[in-house]
Structure 1
Amino acid sequence: MALLKEEDDCKITAVELGKETSEKYEFYQESLKNCKYISDEWISDLQQSKWQSNQQKKSIAVIENSITFWESQRRKARDAEMLRLEETLAALETKGPVLIDPYLEPRPVIEGLPYKRSVFKPPVKLPILTELQWLSVEKQLSGRPLEEVILDRFRLAVTVKDMLSLFPNQWLTDMIINLYLQMIHHRSIIDNELKPSAVMSTFFYTRLSSGGYSVVKRWTKKLDIFAHNFLFFPIHDRGIHWCLAVADFQEKVLTYYDSMGGKNDVCLNRLFDYLKSEHATKKGVPLADADQWQLVNGERETPQQKNGSDCGVFACQTAEFLSRGSELVFQQEDMPCIRQRMMFEILNQKLLTTETDLSHLKD
């Protein structure tokens, strides 16, 4: 057998191989044929494996970039929320200038309730929605335009957007607060075990503050507030924080409930002046025993919120609990469940704490 040999002068000559060498060479060639590492299939598999590896690396890079981006967005959202909360708390700690009215004689304001509130109905455990109840809420809201009116009750048109304000970390709209308070009022009418409760609109105190009694005296044309045991005033303090003031005509106490622990002597005196003016105008005589009334900052009695978005829920629940004579046993940790419950209650017109169905009532 002859092999080609390259000489130093670059000439190629044939070299004769011996029999033994020839057999070894043929064996070597045969072994090369059986070697997978130089086969066309192995090279193709190697190229495919390398391509898959590159694709996997690209996918990992895309996922890592996505994680980095959303983590950055989360930090920005958290920082923005913390800044908003700090600004809100700072605003709440700042009291605006108040001009002293020489004709106004403010009554002394007491800190804390001056009496033990009588509880004529024992507190109940907070209702928690079942899975089916929550699914019914999601079904009623899904796929609807934000501005669509989903409920029209008590001359209040509630939109999908209003309902979405009951989702976590959202500020309640005026419409939600007004409708929920109306449900509390109408429950007290049909439930003989509850004391009658009247409610004012979320816009009432703002108008009273800006225009005085003459601006709001017609708001109760068809309502005798003195025929009720409780009168609830939702207060939008400085336009950024919901509180609740409650006139208890039986105990002769006007109380201010602030879930951030604030006090508001100006509000209490203004509301008490309203009660006196309303009684003199509608009844024709001064408010009886006006000097026996007590004005109370009830921050010690009020459950405290731990964020900047649940104040409206706290105000609504304070009214709901007080209207049935219950102690204020809810707290911040209950807010997610309470928000869900309020959504179900509004959409189904049923207050679950007393299982009172309002859906059959006429507006």
Structure 2
Amino acid sequence: MRPTCCIYNFAMCFALWPYVDILPGLSELNVRLLEQNPVIDVPLSNENEDLSMDAGSIYKTISKNIREFLLDFHQKYGTFIPLVKSDLLKHLTKKMHKDLKDYEMLILELTIEEMAKLVNTVPYFEVRYKKHTLAMEDLATLANENWLNDQVINMYGELIMDLWTESKVHFLNSFFHKQLIAKGYEGVKRWTKQVDLFSKHLLLVPIHLEVHWCLVTADFLKKKICLYDSQGIGLQKVAVNILKYLIKEAKEKKRTAFEEGWTVLLLEDIPHQTNENDCGVFVLEYSRCLALSEPLQFCQRDIPQIRKRIYKELCECKLHDNC
């Protein structure tokens, strides 16, 4: 008897596989696919019995390795939101020592099947790092085109600061600017009680404007303040707010060299978003690149992958060396 494999609508699978990398929460989608597409038994091979048995062995091995990979992945990240097709293929290739290019349709079918089984199997998932705690609802803001929340922004900022033992970059909490506007310098004076901002090279200030995120930076070596706005709105007043704060902070800390000589720039030649939802992701990627002194060489089409990378970095509590 020839071994068989179960496949779903062939055209649907063929169309879906190239886009696995940009389908956050694919497991939820797969439940619907399983319900809507009848299972069909199809022989794995039309050749002789020996080849069929070999195909059956490959089927079982691929199935086992996919199951193990997805189980570990789901336990590590809580969902399949950050799953990238290349992660799975790399794992299978390493395990089987075999080029699996001819088996991509089978791999997709088995992946969908196994992912559907694992939906909601993690009863509770959270990430803790220093004073930060991310629940699943926080991490879920990295799926699709959701707006990022303060918890994700602030923990990622903590990871950025921890890139260096000498701590030359400081990331202010996303609530800082709101508190500054509401209560003035006295309202945020204690926020830097244990931090000498003027000993840093770079200050990163995420600004939450109700329905939009932007970033203000202060380069203490060049005494330059820059506004990075992925929508190009040009709200220069938020940069001026940070300038006024730094001047008062310099007077308070008796750092007279920083009381004057600042320039404020609204940067235009930077990556811009082409939708209404990804401003928070742009702020984090601006921050990451600037902290690492890397050029801003990303664009809107890179954002789905950047969201997945950020999700993984948050769960692993460290930034990846390679993007």
The counterpart of 1:332, out of the listed 293, 300, 323, is 300
Instruction: Report percent identity of matched pairs.
Output: 30
Q: Is the 8 A contact 1:245 1:257 kept in 2?
A: yes
Structure 1: give runs of 5+ residues left out of the alignment. Answer: 1-130, 356-363
Q: Which residue is 1:284 aligned to?
A: 254
The counterpart of 1:242, out of the listed 191, 213, 234, is 213
**Gap change, CA 1:199 and 1:137, over 3 Å in 2:** farther
Q: In 2, distance between residues paired with 1:346 and 1:185?
A: 13
Q: Is the 8 A contact 1:145 1:160 kept in 2?
A: no
Q: Is the 8 A contact 1:158 1:176 kept in 2?
A: yes
Q: In 2, distance between residues paired with 1:219 and 1:150?
A: 27
Q: Is the 8 A contact 2:247 2:260 kept in 1?
A: no
**Gap change, CA 1:141 and 1:231, over 3 Å in 2:** same
Query: Radius of gyration: which is bigger?
Result: 1
Q: In 1, distance between residues paired with 2:71 and 2:264?
A: 44
Task: Give 4+ residue runs of structure 1 displaced > 6 Å after superposition.
Answer: 131-135
- Residues 164-216 of structure 1, C-alpha deviation per residue, up to 9 Å, x if partnerless? 111111111110000001100011336xxxx7100100100000011100000
Q: Which residue is 1:343 aligned to?
A: 311
**Gap change, CA 1:158 and 1:311, over 3 Å in 2:** same
- Given residue 301 of structure 2, which amino acid in structure 1 is its aligned partner? E
Q: In 2, distance between residues paired with 1:224 and 1:158?
A: 28
Higher helix share: 2
Q: In 1, distance between residues paired with 2:269 and 2:71?
A: 35
Q: Which residue is 2:144 aligned to?
A: 168
Q: Which residue is 1:353 aligned to?
A: 321
Could you say what secondary structure the match of 2:290 adopts? helix
The counterpart of 2:266, out of the listed 297, 313, 319, is 297
Q: Is the 8 A contact 2:147 2:277 kept in 1?
A: yes
- Given residue 242 of structure 1, which amino acid in structure 2 is its aligned partner? W
Structure with greater contact order relative to length (CA < 8 Å, sep ≥ 6): 1
Q: In 1, distance between residues paired with 2:243 and 2:179?
A: 15
Shift of 1:137: 4.7
Q: In 1, distance between residues paired with 2:287 and 2:215?
A: 8
- Given residue 158 of structure 2, which amino acid in structure 1 is its aligned partner? Q
Q: Which residue is 2:195 aligned to?
A: 223
Q: Which residue is 1:46 aligned to?
A: none
Q: In 1, distance between residues paired with 2:69 and 2:304?
A: 15
Q: In 2, distance between residues paired with 1:329 and 1:138?
A: 31
Q: Which residue is 1:265 aligned to?
A: 236
- Residues 140-171 of structure 1, C-alpha deviation per residue, up to 9 Å, x if partnerless? 3143779x561111201110110111111111
What is the count of residue pairs matched by the alignment? 216
Normalising by the residue count of structure 2, what TM-score does the alignment of the two structures yield? Answer: 0.62
- Residues 299-332 of structure 1, C-alpha deviation per residue, up to 9 Å, x if partnerless? x132100111111000000000000111100110
Q: Which residue is 1:206 aligned to?
A: 178
Q: In 1, distance between residues paired with 2:71 and 2:217?
A: 35
Shift of 1:342: 0.7
Q: In 1, distance between residues paired with 2:296 and 2:264?
A: 19
Q: Is the 8 A contact 2:247 2:258 kept in 1?
A: no
RMSD of aligned alpha carbons: 2.3
Q: In 2, distance between residues paired with 1:224 and 1:166?
A: 32
Q: Is the 8 A contact 2:251 2:259 kept in 1?
A: no
Could you say what secondary structure the match of 2:227 adopts? strand
Q: Is the 8 A contact 2:174 2:207 kept in 1?
A: yes
Q: Is the 8 A contact 2:217 2:225 kept in 1?
A: yes
After TM superposition, the structure 1 = structure 2 runs for residues 1-363 of structure 1, keeping only pairs within 5 Å, are: 137-139=73-75, 140-142=77-79, 143=120, 148=124, 150-189=126-165, 196-237=168-209, 239-281=210-252, 283-286=253-256, 288=257, 290-298=259-267, 300-353=268-321
Q: In 1, distance between residues paired with 2:276 and 2:285?
A: 16
**Gap change, CA 1:279 and 1:289, over 3 Å in 2:** closer
